[in-house]
Amino acid sequence: MIILENITKIYSTRRGRVHALDGISLQIDKGNFVVIRGPSGSGKTTLLMIIAGMLRPTGGRTVVEQSDLYEISPKERAKFRADNIGFIFQMFHLVPYLNITENIALAGPAAGKKTDKARLAALLDDFGLAERAFHKPSQLSAGEKQRTAIARALHNQPKIILADEPTGNLDPENAHTVLAHLRDFHRQGGTVIVVTHGSEADRYADCIIHLINGRVENLG
């Protein structure tokens, strides 16, 4: 369960303050598939990062899986992330100097866990990456990069996947593969929150949240 209470986020920059989120309250039940939609700059990435425990809001409360995320210590928050969250970043965010296997395994050691070789091999296989296991990200196609990013998000067996435009730069076939993986994770009981401009994910969605100017727009 994810509970946001009156979340605000103001970025302070040298050129002034940007009100990115302006009082967001919402509740997402465990096991739901949620689509977030909204114009560029409406606060979608900001909202995902706050839910992930990666960005402290200016005000409000963020409770995920019973943890009050910005009340606990940074160390507890890091553990919370490793145990609960898989994040698929807008534009992949793969580490350029690590090969694909190392990129997928990245979250394990960071969380103080041993790399599970059998799980890694299974993920590479599931995502059609076995033959690319020792390639670097620059040697992959966009679809392969995005599958790597998803395999990485799944590696720690999270409860929640947060995906920021995971199909943004992909052709329809690769986009479909990506959504199928998110749907499978959801079918196995996982919670999915996906930011997407496209409408392909709508048929899996339990709910669609529209963000406009940092506020949730109720479209009835």
d(CA 193, CA 162): 5
- Of 47 and 161, nearer to ligand ATP (C-beta) is 47
Phi, psi (degrees; rounded to nearest 5) at 10: -115, 120
Provide the pairing of β-strand 33-37 with 207-212.
Answer: parallel
20 counts as binding ligand ATP under rule CB under 6 A: yes
d(CA 84, CA 159): 5
- Of 45 and 103, nearer to ligand ATP (C-beta) is 45
Q: Which residue stretch of 13-21, 56-64, 117-125, 202-210 sits at the interface with ligand ATP (rule: CB under 6 A)?
A: 13-21
Report the residue count for the chain: 220
Using CB under 6 A, which residues numbered 68 to 97 contact ligand ATP? 90
Contact criterion met (CB below 8 Å) for 168 and 88 = no
- Of 99 and 196, nearer to ligand ATP (C-beta) is 196
Which residue among 18, 54, 63, 130 contacts ligand ATP (CB under 6 A)? 18
Closest CA to 186 of 201, 198, 166, 208: 201
Contact criterion met (CB below 8 Å) for 146 and 194 = no
45 counts as binding Mg ion under rule CB under 5 A: yes
- Of 129 and 162, nearer to ligand ATP (C-beta) is 162
Q: Which residue stretch of 20-28, 44-52, 98-106, 203-211 sits at the interface with Mg ion (rule: CB under 5 A)?
A: 44-52
Give the count of beta carbons closer than 10 Å to the beta carbon of residue 22: 15
- Of 32 and 45, nearer to Mg ion (C-beta) is 45
Q: Count Cα neighbours of 203 within 13 Å in the Cβ-side half-sphere.
A: 4
Number of residues lying near ligand ATP (CB under 6 A): 13
Q: Which residue stretch of 37-45, 99-107, 125-133, 185-193 sits at the interface with ligand ATP (rule: CB under 6 A)?
A: 37-45
d(CA 4, CA 193): 14
Which residue among 7, 38, 182, 191 contacts ligand ATP (CB under 6 A)? 38
Give the count of beta carbons closer than 10 Å to the beta carbon of residue 164: 22
Which residue among 32, 33, 37, 45 contacts ligand ATP (CB under 6 A)? 45
Q: Which residues bind ligand ATP (CB under 6 A)?
A: 11, 13, 18, 20, 38, 40-46, 90
